[in-house]
């Protein structure tokens, strides 16, 4: 090769290299070209090309063997989202899995003023597990073709021209329910086994002020056919197999919102799982796997209904299937007190449109008036015991403390002579206790108080952090609730006056002062509405006792007790307690005599 030829070839190489460098497509143009090639390929397989507004996911690397397998044309694609919304819900759908990607409950905000989003993101899964040719296919991993109409959206993944999976979602106006029909067309003899599995996983997001309390009230619920709803534990990670019968529905419940799935035909069996999350902004992870029958002889269709909305008792009751029993009304008999007494009265007062602080006040007054006969009997019994105390002290000084059995016998003789029931002051209080405890469950689960303010309390459904420490104090937390402090002070004052009435001494006198301090630590993070009720109950009790005190004459009671001593035994009306008292005294005397004989 001569010099001229070599020089010419060298110059040509330089020109070619320069042209490649200066005229190569930009990075954006390269992406556009790649996208066009990929789109053309996807259109041939039946997958809709993305719109400019679509969310474009990274192009996955697909094994060529997978492309030839079941739903090979649907294992790769571009993520696209669609919307359905009405007055109550805003639903975001993804063609990846053909699922509901996000749920917003309209008309409600989180404690920080943001929209209430029950779940959102790719970590949420929904689909069918299908055995096709010995290979498990999860439809959550397939790319569906979306077709949207007014109020409904269809998601389809093609196995062949006349063989496909189709999800049809339907949202009616002003409804919290979303209909779902899952159609498996022409897949009989292709799907193996006589059952298929529905898988739903969701990470529930934080909505309330106290994530700790929200976690305590969040749990997966489920209901067997012809049985009461039940739930998994709330304090730790739990997985439970549901094998005791067909499953009518299950729900991913938070404190004040729920996402429930109700099949037209009950699930054959299944399992539920819950994991407590520690990531900021997240409450719990829920997972469900439900078994459904599959007929190999024909195409299959499964009808279902989602409920996305509030845990308001009446709203859940409107859905049917006892969904309202997700609202924790307490244990027996507390739940019956709350459901059939407290809640109807609360709803009646609510119908007047008053502020909820006023409603709680009126509810407390009505309860105290209804319980006033028991309060009166309790006060009267404690007054009798207080009046008898000097005589009991004389007996104690005479008998001494070395013989407690004999001392108790002498006390019982005195009670019998004057006609006093020593438990008379306790029994009325015990009868009132279920109502006091019922409110402990009622207010923390009452949706109506959510976001409602009264006085300085911005939200009656959570604590009022009147003082913020910025650090945690053992048993107290990082704040101090003013209403809880007022409740504690009123309880201490109530204890003081109660000791004056009953004449309590010794350890019993001081135990009453310890309990309110303990409750300060326990109730400091509970709803301000609950502490407000307990505060009002104490104040109204003060008023009741003041009125009763003006009606009760201690000197008259003392005369009556002394007169009872002089009455013949046959004139005294023997109560059931008196009969038991006599039997007890007789047994004690026989025991003492036997012990003396043995000595």
Q: Is residue 122 part of a domain?
A: yes
Angle between helices 356-370 and 372-399 (to 10 degrees): 60
Q: Is residue 24 part of a domain?
A: no
- Residues 315 and 344 placed together within one structural domain of the fold: no
Half-sphere exposure at residue 591, Cβ-oriented, CA atoms within 13 angstroms: 9
> Which of 299, 327, 355 is where one domain is finished?
327
Q: Is residue 75's pLDDT more than 80? A: yes
E strand or H helix that includes residue 212: helix 211-216
Length of the chain: 599
Give the integer Cα–Cα distance in Å for 438 and 455: 25
pLDDT of amino acid 39: 45
Per residue in 351-397, pLDDT tens?
Answer: 999 999 999 999 999 999 998 888 888 888 888 888 888 888 888 88
Q: Is residue 589 part of a domain?
A: no
Name the domain count of the chain: 2
> Which of 301, 327, 353 is where one domain is finished?
327
- Residues 361 and 442 placed together within one structural domain of the fold: yes
Q: Is residue 579 part of a domain?
A: no
- Residues 296 and 445 placed together within one structural domain of the fold: no
CA 61 to chain centre: 42
pLDDT of amino acid 10: 45
Which residues on adjacent β-strands are paired with residue 304?
A: 180, 263
Alpha-helical (H) ranges within 260-371 are: 313-319, 334-337, 343-350, 356-370
Of 83 and 546, which is predicted with more confidence? 83
Flag the least confident range among 61-65, 67-71, 191-195, 418-422. 61-65
Q: Is residue 41's pLDDT more than 60? A: no
- Predicted confidence band of residue 590 (pLDDT cuts 50, 70, 90): low
Domain at 128, CATH number: 2.70.98.90
The burial of 29, by beta-carbon neighbours within 10 Å (0-12 exposed, 13-18 middle, 19 or more buried), is given as: exposed
Angle between helices 507-523 and 482-502 (to 10 degrees): 160
- Residues 420 and 310 placed together within one structural domain of the fold: no
- Residues 179 and 317 placed together within one structural domain of the fold: yes
- Residues 314 and 369 placed together within one structural domain of the fold: no
Q: Is residue 27 part of a domain?
A: no
- Residues 443 and 362 placed together within one structural domain of the fold: yes
Q: Is residue 46 part of a domain?
A: no
Task: Name residues whose C-beta falls within 8 Å of residue 263's C-beta, 6 or more positions apart in sequence.
Answer: 248, 249, 290, 292, 302, 303, 304
Flag the least confident range among 224-238, 351-365, 423-437, 463-477. 423-437
> Which of 262, 293, 327 is where one domain is finished?
327
Task: Name residues whose C-beta falls within 8 Å of residue 366's C-beta, 6 or more positions apart in sequence.
Answer: 345
Q: Average model confidence (pLDDT) for the chain?
A: 84
Flag the least confident range among 127-141, 299-313, 372-386, 436-450. 372-386
Domain span holding position 473: 335-571
- Residues 347 and 300 placed together within one structural domain of the fold: no
- Residues 85 and 120 placed together within one structural domain of the fold: yes
- Residues 299 and 381 placed together within one structural domain of the fold: no
Query: How many of the other CB atoms lie within 10 Å of CB of 3?
Result: 7
- Residues 145 and 104 placed together within one structural domain of the fold: yes
- Residues 454 and 320 placed together within one structural domain of the fold: no
Region 75-79: mean pLDDT is 89
Q: Is residue 441 part of a domain?
A: yes
Q: Is residue 597 part of a domain?
A: no
């Amino acid at each position: 090769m001569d010099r001229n030829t070599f020089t010419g070839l060298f110059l040509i190489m330089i020109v070619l290299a320069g042209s490649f460098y200066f005229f190569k497509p930009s990075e954006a143009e390269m992406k556009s070209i790649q996208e066009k090639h990929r789109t053309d390929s996807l259109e041939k397989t039946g997958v809709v090309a993305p719109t400019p507004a679509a969310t474009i996911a990274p192009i996955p690397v697909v094994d060529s063997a997978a492309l030839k397998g079941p739903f090979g044309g649907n294992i790769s694609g571009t993520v696209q989202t669609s919307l359905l919304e009405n007055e109550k819900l805003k639903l975001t759908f993804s063609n990846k899995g053909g699922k509901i990607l996000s749920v917003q409950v309209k008309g409600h905000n989180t404690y920080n003023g943001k929209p209430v989003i029950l779940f959102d993101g790719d970590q949420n899964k929904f689909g069918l597990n299908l055995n096709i040719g010995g290979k498990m296919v999860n439809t959550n991993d397939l790319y569906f073709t979306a077709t949207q109409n007014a109020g409904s959206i269809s998601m389809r993944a093609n196995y062949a021209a006349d063989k496909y999976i189709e999800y049809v979602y339907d949202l009616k106006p002003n409804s919290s329910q979303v209909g779902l029909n899952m159609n498996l067309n022409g897949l009989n003899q292709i799907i193996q086994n006589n059952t298929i599995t529905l898988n739903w996983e969701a990470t529930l997001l934080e909505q309330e002020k106290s994530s700790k309390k929200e976690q305590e009230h969040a749990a997966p619920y489920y209901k067997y056919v012809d049985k009461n709803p039940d739930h998994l534990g709330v304090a730790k990670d739990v997985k439970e197999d549901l094998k005791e019968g067909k499953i009518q529905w299950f729900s991913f419940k938070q404190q004040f919102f729920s996402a429930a799935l109700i099949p037209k035909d009950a699930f054959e069996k299944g399992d539920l799982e819950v994991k407590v999350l520690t990531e900021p902004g997240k409450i719990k992870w829920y997972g469900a796997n439900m078994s459904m029958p599959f007929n190999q002889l024909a195409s299959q269709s499964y009808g279902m209904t989602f409920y996305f909305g509030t845990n308001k008792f009446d709203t859940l009751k409107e859905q049917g299937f006892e969904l309202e029993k997700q609202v924790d009304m307490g244990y027996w008999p507390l739940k019956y007190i709350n459901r059939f007494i407290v809640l109807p009265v609360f709803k009646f007062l609510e119908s007047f449109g008053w502020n909820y602080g006023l409603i709680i006040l009126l509810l407390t007054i009505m309860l105290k008036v209804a319980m006033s006969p028991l309060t009166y009997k309790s006060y009267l019994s404690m007054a009798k015991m207080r009046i008898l105390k000097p005589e009991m002290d004389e007996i104690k000084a005479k008998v001494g403390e070395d013989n407690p059995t004999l001392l108790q016998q002498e006390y019982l003789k005195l009670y019998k002579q004057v006609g006093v029931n020593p438990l008379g002051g306790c029994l009325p209080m015990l009868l009132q206790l279920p109502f006091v405890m019922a409110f402990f469950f009622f207010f923390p689960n009452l949706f109506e108080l959510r976001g409602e303010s009264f006085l300085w309390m911005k939200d009656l459904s959570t604590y009022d952090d009147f003082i913020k420490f910025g650090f945690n104090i053992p048993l107290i937390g990082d704040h101090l609730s003013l209403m809880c402090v007022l409740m504690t002070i009123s309880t201490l004052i109530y204890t003081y006056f109660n000791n004056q009435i009953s004449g309590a001494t010794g350890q019993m006198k001081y135990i009453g002062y310890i309990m309110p301090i303990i409750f300060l630590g326990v109730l400091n993070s509970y709803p301000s509405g609950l502490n407000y009720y307990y505060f009002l109950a104490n104040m109204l009790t003060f008023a009741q006792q003041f009125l009763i005190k003006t009606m009760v004459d201690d000197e008259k009671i003392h005369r009556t007790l002394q007169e009872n001593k002089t009455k013949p035994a046959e004139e005294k009306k023997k109560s059931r307690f008196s009969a038991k008292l006599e039997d007890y005294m007789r047994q004690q005397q026989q025991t003492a005599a036997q012990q003396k004989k043995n000595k």
